[in-house]
Amino acid sequence: MKNLFKFLLPVVFTAAVLAQGPARPRGRHGFGPGGGPGFGPGLGLMSPGSKTPVTGAPYSAVQSTESQQPLADGNQIARQEQSKVYRDSQGRVRLEHTRRKPGSNDQPQTMISIFDPVAGYSYLLNPAKQTAVKVPLPPANGHDRGPRPHPEGQDSNVKTENLGTQSVNGVSATGTRFTRTIPAGAIGNAQPIQIIRETWVSPDLKVPVLIKGSDPRFGNTMMQLTNIVQAEPDAALFQVPADYTVEARSFGGGRPGMPHD
């Protein structure tokens, strides 16, 4: 069971991000630990329960993530993942995620997560076994105050650019680019290191439709939503099928983490 959660927790985090819209990023100006682009479980943006779910803005789309990591010998590691995402007018989200176990030639496995802030639960579905795990959502972290402001001049090594509004993958989106420069010698680097994170957010959907990160230490990463349809998905997508066996689990101490045995 723990292996199932290790596989699915990043999926649930991503679903929560898509349900709740852009929020306070990890690290200063959206950069992840060590100044990286901040991509990780849930796109490195937030964890479940930290924002009020978006309602009245249903959609479905294909979410894809691509990364390219250059190696010192000139080789390159490229990864691609794709999921289907649905959000209804009540803020419920369904994410269908298909992936192959790393380092394995096994058949890709599809897992489904349903994030239901109305009922207060996440459901982790295994279609192959017709089983589901029911997990309570953690409580909201108090009042949502939105992103913390970053007064100009707070970090002289970070530059913020407003990229304006344009059509991205068929929807109107506003863009912001953060550029962080690590000065020469700050971490033993001979030359300055420039890290860029660019985010395009749809005001109508209240979610990022395109996020691009570039860090010469780790490579390039891009997440985007395509095939966007702004319509109410089938209500059955947000329900566990009647013939599934459902197991209730709880997170230890009310915090996201691995369930108890």
* CATH code for position 227: 2.50.20
In this structure, is residue 245 part of a structural domain? yes
Query: pTM of the predicted model, to two decimals?
Result: 0.75
- Angle CA 42–44–50, to nearest 5: 70
In this structure, is residue 100 part of a structural domain? yes
In this structure, is residue 103 part of a structural domain? yes
| Model pLDDT, residue 29 | 41
In this structure, is residue 183 part of a structural domain? no
| Model pLDDT, residue 238 | 96
Rounded CA-CA distance 4/7 in Å is: 5
| Model pLDDT, residue 154 | 60
In this structure, is residue 208 part of a structural domain? no
Domain that holds residue 225: 2-143+221-254
| Residues of the chain predicted below pLDDT 70 | 1-51, 100-104, 140-154, 251-261
| Model pLDDT, residue 62 | 94
In this structure, is residue 249 part of a structural domain? yes
Q: How many folded domains does the chain comprise?
A: 1
In this structure, is residue 65 part of a structural domain? yes
Residues 238 and 94 sit within 8 Å (Cβ to Cβ): yes
In this structure, is residue 176 part of a structural domain? no
Measured on CA atoms in the order 177, 180, 181, 187, is the torsion positive or negative? negative
